[in-house]
Amino acid sequence: MSDTDETATRGPNGETTGYDKLVRDEIPAVIRADGAEPVTERVDGAAYEQRLAEKLREETAEFCEARDPKELADVLAVVDALVEQVGRETVERLREQKAAERGRFDDGVVLLRVETDGSGRSAEADGESESTKTGE
């Protein structure tokens, strides 16, 4: 599984910087090559999935801010790790099922509002969930 920085990295001059976040597997070696000593722990199971979810939020925010393809590559690396946790076949089956039922994101469709005919019937009353109405 992946390394996490438990508490700190000690620099060559004795300074310490804390992180407590999931990092790529080779980051401890990079830190050592820079003359510092990383303090790490390994997580698995639910703790690993939680750290991946946190990392996905971090990387997604960085991509949204920068719009840099390098940040998007980081998002995909985290998504790939999450997919491996759930099972690639399961995720792919669900992705295709949602695409068949609701479409993809190819056409740039933006839902601005939903207007009813005044009958008072909503999509939810017809057996659709809120996420169905919003295209999720």
Q: Would you say how long the chain is, in residues?
A: 136
> What average pLDDT does this structure show over 73-84?
98
pLDDT at 53: 98
The continuous run of DSSP H or E covering 113 comes out as: none
**Spatial separation of the C-alpha atoms in residues 110 and 112, rounded to whole Å:** 6
From residue 16, alpha-carbon distances to 7, 20, 30, 42, 136 in Å are: 9, 13, 16, 20, 43
Give the model's pLDDT for residue 69.
98
> Mind listing the pLDDT tens digit for each residue in 93-108?
999 999 999 999 999 9
What was the pLDDT predicted at 83? 98
- Which residue(s) pair with 9 in the sheet? 17, 38
3 has pLDDT over 90: no
Residues in Cβ contact with 51 at an 8 Å cutoff, skipping those fewer than 6 apart:
2, 4, 21, 22, 43
Average pLDDT over residues 67-73: 98
Nearest-10 Cα torsion for 124, 119, 99, 45:
-10
pLDDT at 2: 38
Q: Would you say residue 128 has pLDDT above 70?
A: no
Q: Is 114 exposed, middle or buried (CB count within 10 Å of its CB: 0-12, 13-18, 19+)?
A: exposed
Tally Cβ neighbours within 10 Å of residue 4: 20
Residue 6: per-residue pLDDT: 44
pTM score of the predicted model: 0.75
